[in-house]
Structure 1
Amino acid sequence: MTDHSTQQRRTPPRPAPMDASAHATTPTPVFTTPAVFTTTPAVVASCVGFVLIGALQALYGPAIPALREEFGLSPSAAGLALSAHFVGGVAGVLLFDRRYGRTGNRRILGLSYLLMATGAAAFALAPTWPLALTAALLAGLGFGGIDYGLNQLFATGFGHRSTAMLNILNAHFGIGAILGPVLIGAAGADRYPAVFLAFALVTLPLLLCLRGVSDKTVHPTATLTPADPEGAPTAALRSVLTVFVTLYVLHVAIEAGVGGWEPTHLETIGYGAGLAATATSVYWLMMTVGRFLVAPLALRFSAQTIITVSCAGMTASLLLAAIPPLAPYAYAAVGLFIAPIFPTGLPWLHRAAPHARRAGALVIAASMAGGVTAGPTLGKVIEWSGVNAVPLLLAAASATCLAATRWLIRSTKAH
């Protein structure tokens, strides 16, 4: 007689049936990792592209004296060139976003580079001020497309390294912002057309590196949590996006506010004009250095942690800037702490709202709008409160950024 128990022991066990429910609860990866950039030259060219858009944004200011003389402009009228540039930038962000996923990345980036180069050349050669403003608008359109397009591709194309790569990319923007005024200063403001023409020519070779950019659309996915369940109410998503926009608008307003008002504040509290200008240059330099320094840290710490520390350090530094002996050093620290917020927040936003395809465009466009409105708004408040209140006003905005970050951490519970 056969011993059935022995037979059962000798019979190899059958594989357990696949349990679909078990796999349904397995968290999905935070990011897919397709080859968005298929060659190293494409990545390098993207960084060079960010050097150029940083330089372009910084070229208009130093050219204002020559623009006023050439076209007979008031200071406010000459400042419209940068405003036209930013208006074009916002339009470029929104236009690129509408075409993202419909038109190939190479084609859109190529068109953006061409628009920026054409606008810069037209600005240099414009015979009248209205034509110059139109050219600045055109250059800004390309600027916005490059800014949003490369930020979007870097935010979704490098997997867990996306935050680090975004900080490196945006650090190159800072390099351009430092180099732009240096070029105008070396050539002389009256030779700004030659600088803008040279800028246009340097942009064109980047078109040759676009073959290393994939046309594949990348859509990030996120681990669903109780705070972000599948089918969550639209109102909850709107709240998250609203707070992200608030964080971006305020932090860009602080960035522009320090850059614009630091020299005036330092002179008001007793520092010389030369030292005040140097301290402001150090502030921009520290912002660039900060992004390079955060890149390796982003591989070890979460975006939430980095932004929380950044906002807390930024707030403390602005409070210290109200103490005259510490002010120049405190402003430099502000540059160091504010540096990671913009590039580090984008991957977090994509994880928190993976199905809100236009979220990235919304916050980048809002940040540009914040840069445009920060100057006049802060100026009106300073007229009422006095220049000495500049660091305290900015510290209040920074504290709001910290509160917004803490709210987002509780609401998204992103990993």
Structure 2
Amino acid sequence: MFSTPALVASCVGFALIGSLQSFYGPSIPALRTEFGLSPAAAGVGLTAHFIGGVGGVLLFNRVHAHVGNRTLLGVSYALMALGSAGFALAPTWPLALVAAFFAGLGFGGIDYGLNQLFAVGFGDRSTAMLNVLNAFFGIGAVAGPALIGVLGADHYSVVFAGCGVVSALLLLFLRGVGDTSPHPEAPADQAQGTAPASARTRAWLVMTAFVVLYVLHVGVEAGVGGWEPTHLETVGYGSAFAASATSVFWLMMTVGRFLVVPLTLRLPEHVIVKVSCAGMAVCLAAASVPAVAPFMYAGVGLFIAPIFPTGLPWLTRTVPLARSAGAHVIAASMLGGVAAGPALGAMIQWAGARSVPLVLCVIAVCCLGTSAWIDRATRSGSPA
């Protein structure tokens, strides 16, 4: 599926989309000054990006069967290049939002396209390679705010323009990508579209469970990223320490994906996902103890890291007929990140800031229950 240069370029591409997503937040002060925006209005830039991202995942999933892999990735890189450059150069805020939407479309296409190709393109090593790929997303997400910090928020246009240039350069490496993808084999009756109704129902139930798993785990991820500083400050830590501890959480997510690679060659996906869900639930419960809370949040980062990339090949193997299954769970992960903010905010406002780790622990336990249900359903052949 990939030549060595194309494989390296794909990893760079994932680091790039991680960086692009992380650029918007640190740029808000400069955006407010340049366009005269309120904090809420400035935050709409990231919303437009995510709306484009979900649209890109679903759109490129619909057309993937009719176009080759190179076309899908090429259009995605081109959209991200144009959108990023447009956001950097936009003279008005409405035009900047349009540019962010188109950058998001490209972001979604790359996220969907490379995750799908890595899920089926490396055989028994697909799970390991998916963890490596998504680790590069984390590298980009950690490096993006640092780059803005070095250059200054006033130079946000430089980093967005640079993102557009790198995205355009990645088009040069697409010749090393295989234009057709291998697909999981299905039984003869299913391959001909004659699967019994019970099998189709089971497939949809399992796919729905994967969507729930992804929404919940992204809710934990967004909840820790958004509320860890508030919780740590509430229990007595300084604001600078709390911010640094949250950065460690994101860093541990990246480290965790690299660390799990050798395990994916020895353990099946369902074991890794269930252990990861259990581990993050235990760490979140322990984070309610102030003395160890920062360390436990770092542990959550390590345990949550493998769930997204390890779940995709598990899904591909257990629901081989649903070409759109991967797209649905990737889109669900984006929507989960958007919805998690207000939903968790309402719960924490009701229960108090000290409840943050326990609220997130309940969600993690739901993740564990969902993953266990998927494992049981796919092993027994029945969703009951």
* Same-fold call, TM cutoff 0.5: yes
Pairwise mapping of residues 106-121 of structure 1 onto structure 2 (< 5 A)?
Answer: 106-121=70-85
SS in 1 for 2:184: coil
Could you tell me how far apart the structure 2 residues matched to 1:101 and 1:237 are? 20
Residue 48 of structure 2 is matched in structure 1 by 84
Pairwise mapping of residues 130-209 of structure 1 onto structure 2 (< 5 A)?
Answer: 130-209=94-173
Where do 5+ consecutive residues of structure 1 fail to align? 1-35
Segment of structure 1 superposing worse, 326-335 or 208-217: 208-217
Choose the corresponding residue for 1:94, options 58, 74, 87. 58
C-alpha deviation, 1:233, in angstroms: 3.2
**Which amino acid in 2 is paired with 1:326?**
V
C-alpha deviation, 1:234, in angstroms: 2.3
Question: Does structure 1 conserve the Cα–Cα contact (< 8 Å) formed by 2:121 and 2:181?
Answer: no
Greater than 4 Å deviation, 4+ residue runs: none
Choose the corresponding residue for 1:129, options 90, 93, 103. 93
Residue 254 of structure 1 is matched in structure 2 by 220
C-alpha deviation, 1:222, in angstroms: 6.0
Pairwise mapping of residues 352-371 of structure 1 onto structure 2 (< 5 A)?
Answer: 352-371=318-337
1:51 correspondence with 2:15: yes
Could you tell me how far apart the structure 1 residues matched to 2:34 and 2:141 are? 24
1:402 correspondence with 2:368: yes
Choose the corresponding residue for 1:278, options 232, 244, 264. 244
Could you tell me how far apart the structure 2 residues matched to 1:305 and 1:255 are? 20
Could you tell me how far apart the structure 2 residues matched to 1:116 and 1:219 are? 27
SS in 2 for 1:307: helix
Residue 8 of structure 1 is matched in structure 2 by none
Where do 5+ consecutive residues of structure 2 fail to align? 189-193
Question: Does structure 2 conserve the Cα–Cα contact (< 8 Å) formed by 1:221 and 1:351?
Answer: no
Question: Does structure 2 conserve the Cα–Cα contact (< 8 Å) formed by 1:222 and 1:351?
Answer: no
C-alpha deviation, 1:357, in angstroms: 1.1
Could you tell me how far apart the structure 2 residues matched to 1:126 and 1:163 are? 40
- Per-residue deviation, residues 314-335 of structure 1 (Å, max 9, x unmatched): 0000001111001000000000
Question: Does structure 2 conserve the Cα–Cα contact (< 8 Å) formed by 1:312 and 1:402?
Answer: yes
1:316 correspondence with 2:314: no
Choose the corresponding residue for 2:29, options 65, 84, 99. 65
Pairwise mapping of residues 281-360 of structure 1 onto structure 2 (< 5 A)?
Answer: 281-360=247-326
1:374 correspondence with 2:337: no
Choose the corresponding residue for 2:230, options 257, 261, 264. 264
- Per-residue deviation, residues 161-202 of structure 1 (Å, max 9, x unmatched): 000000000000000000100110001001101111111112
SS in 1 for 2:37: coil
Pairwise mapping of residues 2-41 of structure 1 onto structure 2 (< 5 A)?
Answer: 36-37=1-2, 39-41=3-5
Could you tell me how far apart the structure 1 residues matched to 2:227 and 2:187 are? 42
Could you tell me how far apart the structure 2 residues matched to 1:402 and 1:234 are? 25
TM-score (ref. length: structure 2): 0.95
Could you tell me how far apart the structure 1 residues matched to 2:256 and 2:347 are? 29
Q: Given the superposition, is the C-alpha separation of residues 170 and 223 from structure 1 closer, same or farther in structure 2, using an over 3 Å criterion?
A: farther
Residue 7 of structure 1 is matched in structure 2 by none
Residue 390 of structure 1 is matched in structure 2 by 356
SS in 2 for 1:233: helix
Could you tell me how far apart the structure 1 residues matched to 2:183 and 2:98 are? 35
C-alpha deviation, 1:95, in angstroms: 1.1
C-alpha deviation, 1:235, in angstroms: 2.0
- Per-residue deviation, residues 288-330 of structure 1 (Å, max 9, x unmatched): 0000011111000000110011000000000011110010000
TM-score (ref. length: structure 1): 0.88
**Which amino acid in 2 is paired with 1:180?**
G
Could you tell me how far apart the structure 2 residues matched to 1:117 and 1:77 are? 24
C-alpha deviation, 1:68, in angstroms: 0.9
Could you tell me how far apart the structure 2 residues matched to 1:222 and 1:334 are? 36
Could you tell me how far apart the structure 1 residues matched to 2:324 and 2:182 are? 13
Q: Given the superposition, is the C-alpha separation of residues 55 and 46 from structure 1 closer, same or farther in structure 2, using an over 3 Å criterion?
A: same
Q: Given the superposition, is the C-alpha separation of residues 414 and 185 from structure 1 closer, same or farther in structure 2, using an over 3 Å criterion?
A: farther
C-alpha deviation, 1:218, in angstroms: 2.2
SS in 1 for 2:260: helix
Pairwise mapping of residues 204-215 of structure 1 onto structure 2 (< 5 A)?
Answer: 204-215=168-179
- Per-residue deviation, residues 234-274 of structure 1 (Å, max 9, x unmatched): 22222111111000000011101100111111111100011
Question: Does structure 1 conserve the Cα–Cα contact (< 8 Å) formed by 2:120 and 2:181?
Answer: no
C-alpha deviation, 1:223, in angstroms: 8.4
Residue 238 of structure 1 is matched in structure 2 by 204
Could you tell me how far apart the structure 2 residues matched to 1:204 and 1:87 are? 22
Could you tell me how far apart the structure 2 residues matched to 1:380 and 1:116 are? 34
Could you tell me how far apart the structure 2 residues matched to 1:268 and 1:133 are? 35
User: Greater helix share, 1 or 2?
Assistant: 2
Residue 191 of structure 2 is matched in structure 1 by none
Question: Does structure 2 conserve the Cα–Cα contact (< 8 Å) formed by 1:155 and 1:163?
Answer: yes
Q: Given the superposition, is the C-alpha separation of residues 336 and 372 from structure 1 closer, same or farther in structure 2, using an over 3 Å criterion?
A: same
